[in-house]
Each structure stands twice: as structure tokens, then as C-alpha cells.
Amino acid sequence: MATSLSRRDRLGTIGARSGFLRNNYKLIPGLYCVGSPGSESPVFVTANYKLSFDALRQELSGIEAWILVVDTRGINIWCAAGKGTFSTAEVAYQVKNAQLDKIVTHREVILPQLGAVGVAALDLKKSCGFRGIFGPVLARDIPKFLQNGKIADEAMRTVTFRLSERAVLVPVEICLLWKPLLIAVMTIFVLSGLGPEIYSFEDAWQRGLAAASTSVLAVIAGAIVTPLLLPWIPGRQFWLKGIQTGLIAGLVAYALFSSEVGRLAGFGLFLWAISTASYLAMNFTGSTPFTSLSGVGHEMRRGLPLQVGAAGLALLCWVAGPFF
């Protein structure tokens, strides 16, 4: 099998990441190989999620190894382990199904460390005879891991969240967003026509554009700028980080549109930008590898009422604007 990625693979990667293809970007589970492995070669376990598989296959170039792809319904290891599809039973099933005991003489499979959320390595031996050992968090460290005699150092065992790792998540966030956002923007367009002359389609269009542009600014602030600048925005709670970037988006929106839509409606736009950016930033907690669910619940109990309140007030200002 080729270990370098072709252009088509990369395109598929973009497709898989951006959400449109995410649900059907699967590989057929089973045993694959890189190079020409023999009965002594190591066996790596991965998800049938194309990105995990590609990362592994690329890092293994020059190494003779087996790759056991288990069925995680095409989602990545971390999410699959959390959802229970990457489980001890599933790995054991694929080990047996591939008749691994006839292919290799050793009795050991190397699991991705993040798969530990779903696979209990010690139970694996009981259910299929193969011992599970945990490899590094990142596939990139596998060559070093093998050189070290299958020992991962602290850095290899620590999950990171670098700028590049955050950047790849941005399109995912946006793609998951576009549906609710489209509904919100359509609603705003319709509401924007309300005014002293009962309903004006010209107003709906003109004011609707201002509101839609503000929404775009808020998305940029909450779902793009906040994730990218995450460690540098003060505060630990994400909704507070989003308020800060949203504040800037809101000020820009006010400066751009308040002369056109009036001060009250302009203030509505300002509030709308802040509440939307704050919510989107808060939603990003789902994509980070360091936020605990308890912590997210904690900040949502504080952030959500304020966001809903501000959005409600924004709507009021927006609808009332033309009457003043």
C-alpha cells in the first residue's frame, strides 16, 4: 500500500473534515499492511476514519507493519472511544475476524493512546489473547516510539492543542453551524421588514443585509478568531472569551450600520454580535481536548442565560428600531 498521500487523499481529507462527507468517510474494517510485514511485525490498531488511517499510514512509511482497522462507523478514535464504538469488544472482534493469531507470532497489538477512553487494554488479553499496549497520542511519534523499544515519553503521552490543531477544527465548526445560522438569518430578514409602514420589502432587504453581515462578523469572532487565539484571550471560561471577541465584532457592526439603521437597532446589532459570538465560543468546548464536561456545564449555567437574554434584547431593539 502507498504510504504517501495523493492529491485525491488530501481532497478527501478536506471533505471529511468539513463535515459534508464526515458521515460516510469510512474504510472497510480489517487487516491492512504497510511495506511488506511478516510474522514478527508490529500491529497497529486504528479507526476506520479516513483521517486517522491516513495519518497512521503516512507516519509508518519505511516501517513494515500491520494495520488493523476496526469499525468505528467512520469516526475518529477520540470521538469513537467516547461514544463506545472503539471498544474492547470491537478490537477483540476484529483481531479474531482477521485471524491475527495465524498471521503474526507475537501476541501484542499497539493501540492509540486516545483509544484508552474506550478500550481497556488489560481486558483485551482476556477476550482475544492479544495484549494491548498504548502507543503515543500522535501517529507522528510512532517511529520514535518503536526506536525506544515501544516506550512513549511524557511528551508523547500528552495531548496538545497547537494553533495548527485548532485551525483544522474551524471548518468543522462552521459546517456544523451553517444550518441553524441560515435559519436565524432568514428569520432576521423577514423581521427586518417590519416598520411604521407595516411591512416594507425594501427595508427587509436593506436592514436584513446589515443584520446578516453582523451575523457573519459574529461567526468570525466566535467560531474563527476565538479558537485560533484561544490561549491568548484572557479568562478560562469560553463564553467569556467569546464576549471579548464578540465585543469587537459588535463595535465594528455598530460603526458600520448604526447610521443606516439607527442607534437603537444598531445597539441591537451590537448585542446580537456579542451573544452569538459568546455562544459559538462556548460551543467550541466540544472540540478541545482539555475541557471537562463538568466544567462545560458549569460555564453554560452562567453563560447561556446571559446569551439568551442578550439575544432577546437584541431582537427587541431590532424590531423596535424603525419606530423611533
Residues in contact with other proteins by CB under 8 A are 19, 22-23, 75, 79, 81-84, 113-114, 116-122, 134, 137, 154, 157-161, 172, 176, 230-231, 236-237, 279, 282-300, 304
Q: Which is nearer to other proteins, 52 or 113 (CB)?
A: 113
Q: Which amino acid is at 66?
A: W
Alpha-carbon distance 301 to 291, whole Å? 15
What cell numbers appear for 70 in the block?
A: 476496526
Residue in the block written with cell 460516510: 24
Least distance (Å) from other proteins to the CB of residue 134?
6
Do residues 56 and 1 lie in contact, with contact meaning Cβ atoms separated by under 8 Å?
no
Least distance (Å) from other proteins to the CB of residue 133?
9
Q: Which is nearer to other proteins, 47 or 296 (CB)?
A: 296
Least distance (Å) from other proteins to the CB of residue 95?
18
150 burial (CB, 10 Å; 0-12 / 13-18 / 19+) is middle
Least distance (Å) from other proteins to the CB of residue 286?
2
Q: Please, where are the H alpha helices in the chain?
A: 7-18, 50-59, 77-83, 88-97, 100-103, 121-128, 142-147, 154-157, 163-167, 169-192, 201-219, 226-228, 238-261, 263-283, 293-320
Q: Which is nearer to other proteins, 102 or 236 (CB)?
A: 236
Least distance (Å) from other proteins to the CB of residue 251?
24
Q: Which amino acid is at 229?
A: L
Least distance (Å) from other proteins to the CB of residue 78?
8
Do residues 253 and 269 lie in contact, with contact meaning Cβ atoms separated by under 8 Å?
yes
Q: Which is nearer to other proteins, 192 or 245 (CB)?
A: 245
* CA atoms within 13 A of residue 266's CA, in its CB half-sphere: 14
Query: What's phi and psi for 32, nearest 5 deg?
Result: -120, 170
Q: Which is nearer to other proteins, 111 or 261 (CB)?
A: 111
233 three-class SS: coil
Do residues 207 and 261 lie in contact, with contact meaning Cβ atoms separated by under 8 Å?
yes
Q: Which is nearer to other proteins, 138 or 185 (CB)?
A: 138
Q: Which is nearer to other proteins, 87 or 214 (CB)?
A: 87
Least distance (Å) from other proteins to the CB of residue 30?
25
Dihedral sign, Cα of residue 180, residue 183, residue 189, residue 191: negative
Q: Which is nearer to other proteins, 36 or 164 (CB)?
A: 164
Least distance (Å) from other proteins to the CB of residue 199?
33
| Residue 186 burial (CB count, 10 A) | 12
